[in-house]
A and B are shown apart, each in its own frame.
Chain A
Amino acid sequence: MDENATTDAPLDPAGMLALVREQQRDIGLQLGGAVPFILLAWGVSWTIGFLSLWSVDGLANGLPLGAAIAVFVVLFVVAGAVSAFLGIRSGRGIRSSPDSAFTGTVYGVTWSIGFVGLTAIGVALIRWGLGDLANLYFASVYVFFCGIMYIVAAAIWHAIPALVAGCWLVLVAALAPFFGYPGNYLLLAVAGGGAFLVMSAAMFVARAVARRPHV
């Protein structure tokens, strides 16, 4: 193993172990570099988006409904695009087995299937008289679904942070309807979007600490 040391002087065992750990930490930071930015994108999108929807009837001079919906949808699409772009970019040049590729593809497609299905159910409910309760339905089921997908990701890839985030989102989504309209939007903005902002900030801090040179 010593032939591939890039330093001239041979390192002692402590030095070698430190080199190995440092290198692996550095690779981990580089490969995982997109995650805090993805969390930030969703945090901003949900916080501003849900606050906009809340403002329609939650604030004296809130946004008109059409504008609030437009803000939410645009931010959602932008966050989705940023997420997809950064996610794909971080995996570039890395190839996995057909089994792993299958798992990843099925997981990725399930996001779309879920959102389309839940939307269809919601539209049908509106058709059969759901009315203003649509506010409670759509917001909660989308966030609930995100939570479940995070939990599933945690199960597949052994990611504890995703498990914690997923459980939190499920909890928030399930609680929101009890607050009624427009309170549900406020809860989702603060506890949902806010959670993503907190996770993102925590990751940025943790990475800055990890990047400091170790003695």
Chain B
Amino acid sequence: MRITAALATLAPDESIEFPRLQELLGMTAGNLSTHLRKLEDADYVTVAKTHRGRTPVTYLELSTRGRRAFEDYTEALRGLLGEHP
């Protein structure tokens, strides 16, 4: 949920490199990797692997499905707690 919330702060056309996301979340690489794989399997996160010279770079962003799921979920939470948009 922390990861999804963090990725949701990016604009829809923005993606973030793995190390920067790790830095922002304060998680270990292994921990973040594990959670991201689950999110990717659920089709909530899009992973784009490219290269900068010889260094592999991984960019992450919420998929459209992931963003919608997050927005629906937070809206449902707000509804449950009696907050109105």
- Name the B residues within 8 Å of A14 (CB-CB): 81
A93 adjacent to B5 (CB under 8 Å)? no
Min CB distance B1 to A, Å, is: 5
| Distance, CA A28 to CA B10, complexed state (A) | 10
Interface magnitude class on chain A: 20 to 34
Quote the shortest CB–CB distance from B26 to chain A (angstroms). Answer: 9
Give bound CA distance, A160 to B11, whole Å: 17
Interface residues of B in 21-78 (CB under 8 A from A): 21, 23-24, 27, 31, 35, 38-39, 42, 59, 69-70, 73-74, 77-78
Q: Mark A1-25, 1 if CB is under 8 A from B, else 0.
A: 1111110000001101101100110
CB neighbours (8 Å) of B73 from chain A are 1
Q: How far apart sit A28 and B15, CA to CA, in the bound complex (Å)?
A: 15
**Contact of A30 with B13 in the complex, beta carbons under 8 Å:** no
Selecting from A68-76, A94-102, A133-141, A145-153, the interface stretch reads: A94-102
What is the bound-complex CA distance between A95 and B17, given in angstroms? 8
Which residue of chain B has its CB nearest to the CB of A3?
B38
Whether A20 lies near B15 (C-beta < 8 A) is: no
Given contacts A4-B39, A95-B59, contact A13 B77 (CB under 8 A): yes
Interface string of A93-130 (1 = CB under 8 A from B): 11111011000000000000000000000000000000
Given contacts A6-B31, A6-B35, A24-B6, list 17 more A-B pairs with CB under 8 A: A1-B1, A1-B70, A4-B2, A4-B3, A4-B39, A6-B2, A17-B74, A19-B1, A19-B5, A20-B1, A20-B5, A24-B5, A24-B8, A24-B9, A27-B24, A31-B9, A95-B14
* Contacts from B to A (Cβ < 8 Å): 1-6, 8-11, 13-17, 19-21, 23-24, 27, 31, 35, 38-39, 42, 59, 69-70, 73-74, 77-78, 80-81
The 4 A-B pairs at the shortest CB distance, nearest first, are namely A93-B20, A97-B13, A93-B17, A23-B5
